[in-house]
Structure 1
Amino acid sequence: MSKNEDQTNWPVWATESIEIADPDSMWLEKGKQEEKQLYELLSPFGIGQVIHIGSTSVPNLPAKPIIDIMADVDSFERITDISALLSSYDWHYVPPHLDNKDWRRFFVKVKNDKRVAHLHLMLKGEKRWEKQLLFRDKLRDDPQLVFEYARLKSNLAKEFNLDREAYTDAKTKFVNLVLRS
C-alpha cells in the first residue's frame, strides 16, 4: 500500500513484515481451493478465469505463505458489490488510491491478523495477465531459475523486511530478465 498514507490506523496485516517460508506442498492445494471458491462466488459478476499465480504456485520455491490468485473481469463497475460479497469471506478491499496500481483491484484475505491470500482482479485483456502466467510457468520449468529467485527473495526480504513495495520493486529486474529469456 502507498507509503504516502498515514499508517497509524491501518490494520495489523497491512504493515506486517515480510517472511519467506520454506516450500509447502499444501500451497498448490490451497491455491486450488481459493480458485474454486472465488470462481463460485464471483462468476455472477462476469469473472472468467481464476488462476493461482505467484511463488506459492511454483513447487519447491520458498515464498511468503500467501496464496496469490488472479481473476479477470469485463469491468470494475461492480467492484462495490464484489467487495461487499468478499468481505463476508474475510477478504479486505484495498482501494486503488492505497494500492497504487490502477490496472487492478486488490483484495487481501486475512485470518488471525495475517495475510493468507491476495486477489488481483484485472480487466480481461490486461497485458500483465499473460506476463504473470509466463513468469510462473518459466519458474515451474526451470529448477535453476527457482534457485536463483529463492536466493534473491531471501536477500530482499532481509533488506526490505518492513517495506513490501520496495521488496516487490527490487524483484522487478529479475522478473523482466526471466520474461525476456
Structure 2
Amino acid sequence: MSGPPAWAYEKPHVTAPDPAWPARGAELCARLAVVLKPWLVDGVEHVGSTSVPGLAAKPVVDVMASVSDIDVVVISAGAALAADGWAYVPPSLDVASPWRRFFVLPDATGEHRVAHLHVLPAGHPRWHAQRTFRDALRADPALAAEYAALKHRLTTETTDREAYTAGKTAFVTRVLTHHGVILPTE
C-alpha cells in the first residue's frame, strides 16, 4: 500500500509573478468547461493569486467551477478528470471546506501541485466571494502588495499549508467585508 502523494505535504512557497499564469488559467478553464459542461451553471473561472497580474503567489493555478451538483460531478466526471491528470481529494481529507469538492493537478513528477479545481454548488456564497476578492486585488495594486507581503511573511513562519491558509483569513475577511461580502460560518 502506498502512502499519500508527495504533493499532499508540499510546503507553501511564494514565487515572483509569472506572466504565463493567466494563459495557464485560461487554458485550464477552457478544458474544464468541456469536461464539466453537462453540470456547469456559472462556468469555470481562474481565481486565487495567480489570477491577479503582477501578484506573487504559490505557483499553483486555482480554478473554480459552479455546478448543479458537486457530488454528481465527482461521480460522473471523476474518470474524465483523472484521465486529464486531476487527483480527487475526498471530503474526508478536505475537512476544512465541506462546501466544495476538490481536485489537485500534480506535475509530471507527482511532487508538486500545479493547479487546484474547486467545484462549488451553484449559488454558493464562496463563488461570489472568490470573484470579489480576486477583483479587489486586481483593482488595487496597494492592496495586492499588502497581500503579497503577508503571504511572504507567512511562508517564513510556517511550513504547513493549512496554517499558511489560516494565516490569510483575517486579511481576506477584511477585504470581503469592505466589499459587502460576509461568508457564512461553515
Cα deviation for residue 83 of structure 1 reads: 1.6
Cα deviation for residue 54 of structure 1 reads: 0.0
The secondary structure found in structure 2 opposite 1:138 is helix
Correspondence 1:153 to 2:151: yes
Correspondence 1:47 to 2:55: no
Name the residue aligned to 2:139: 141
Separation in structure 2 between the aligned mates of residue 58 and residue 77 of structure 1, nearest angstrom: 30
Matches within 5 A, 1:107-146: 107-111=103-107, 112-113=109-110, 114-146=112-144
Task: Supply the AA of the counterpart residue of 1:179.
Answer: L
Correspondence 1:24 to 2:18: yes
The secondary structure found in structure 1 opposite 2:168 is helix
After superposition, give the CA deviation of every residue in 1:43-83 in whole Å (9 maximum; x if it has no partner): 03x12310000000001100001000000111134212222
Correspondence 1:87 to 2:78: no
The secondary structure found in structure 2 opposite 1:99 is coil
Cα deviation for residue 115 of structure 1 reads: 0.6
Separation in structure 1 between the aligned mates of residue 12 and residue 155 of structure 2, nearest angstrom: 6
After superposition, give the CA deviation of every residue in 1:123-176 in whole Å (9 maximum; x if it has no partner): 001011101000000000001001100000001012112x11111011000001
Q: Normalising to structure 2: TM-score of the pair? A: 0.90
Percent sequence identity over matched residues? 46
Cα deviation for residue 39 of structure 1 reads: 0.2
The secondary structure found in structure 2 opposite 1:119 is strand
Separation in structure 2 between the aligned mates of residue 74 and residue 65 of structure 1, nearest angstrom: 29
Task: Supply the AA of the counterpart residue of 2:94.
Answer: D
Report the more deviating stretch, 15-24 or 69-78. 69-78
Runs of at least 5 residues in structure 2 that lack an aligned partner in the other structure: 179-186
Task: Supply the AA of the counterpart residue of 1:166.
Answer: A
Correspondence 1:176 to 2:173: yes
Name the residue aligned to 2:181: none
Name the residue aligned to 1:70: 64
Q: Normalising to structure 1: TM-score of the pair? A: 0.92
Correspondence 1:106 to 2:102: yes
Task: Supply the AA of the counterpart residue of 1:177.
Answer: R
Q: CA RMSD in A?
A: 1.1
8 Å CA contact 2:13–2:155 kept in 1: the answer is: yes
Write out the 4+ residue segments of structure 1 that deviate beyond 3 Å after TM superposition.
none
The secondary structure found in structure 1 opposite 2:101 is strand
